[in-house]
């Protein structure tokens, strides 16, 4: 499987971030689930997909202050 170079990764990340924003808060989870399923189908390898799920769920960072403001939450509890 080929890897994205840094410039391509930045372009794909920006496109994905814009699409998540366009989906809006209520449809964000559905959009992301659909995107992941489409990508898993392209990968076509269950083991690789499971490894990606495990890697993504490991050591998730705390949301940033800007992310808290974006979803209408107070950044300070």
In a domain, 1, yes or no: no
| Angle, helices 28-43/46-57, rounded to nearest 10 degrees | 140
Domain of residue 38 covers 6-70
Q: Which of 45, 48, 19, 44 is nearest to 34 (CA)?
A: 19
The pLDDT tens digits of the residues spanning 46-66 come to: 999 999 999 999 988 887 766
Residue 1, pLDDT above cutoff 60? yes
pLDDT-derived band at 75, boundaries 50, 70, 90: very low
Distances (CA, A) of 22 to 46, 65, 66: 30, 20, 17
Q: What is the Cα 60 distance to its own chain's centre?
A: 12
Structural domains counted in the chain: 1
In a domain, 75, yes or no: no
In a domain, 34, yes or no: yes
In a domain, 77, yes or no: no
Q: What is the Cα 2 distance to its own chain's centre?
A: 19
């Amino acid at each position: 499987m080929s890897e994205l170079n840094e410039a391509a990764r930045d372009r794909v990340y920006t496109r994905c971030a814009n699409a998540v924003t366009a989906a809006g808060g209520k449809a964000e989870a559905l959009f992301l689930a659909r995107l992941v399923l489409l990508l898993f189908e392209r990968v076509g390898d269950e083991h690789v997909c499971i490894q990606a799920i495990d890697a993504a769920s490991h050591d998730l960072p705390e949301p940033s202050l800007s992310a808290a403001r974006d979803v209408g939450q107070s950044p300070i509890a």
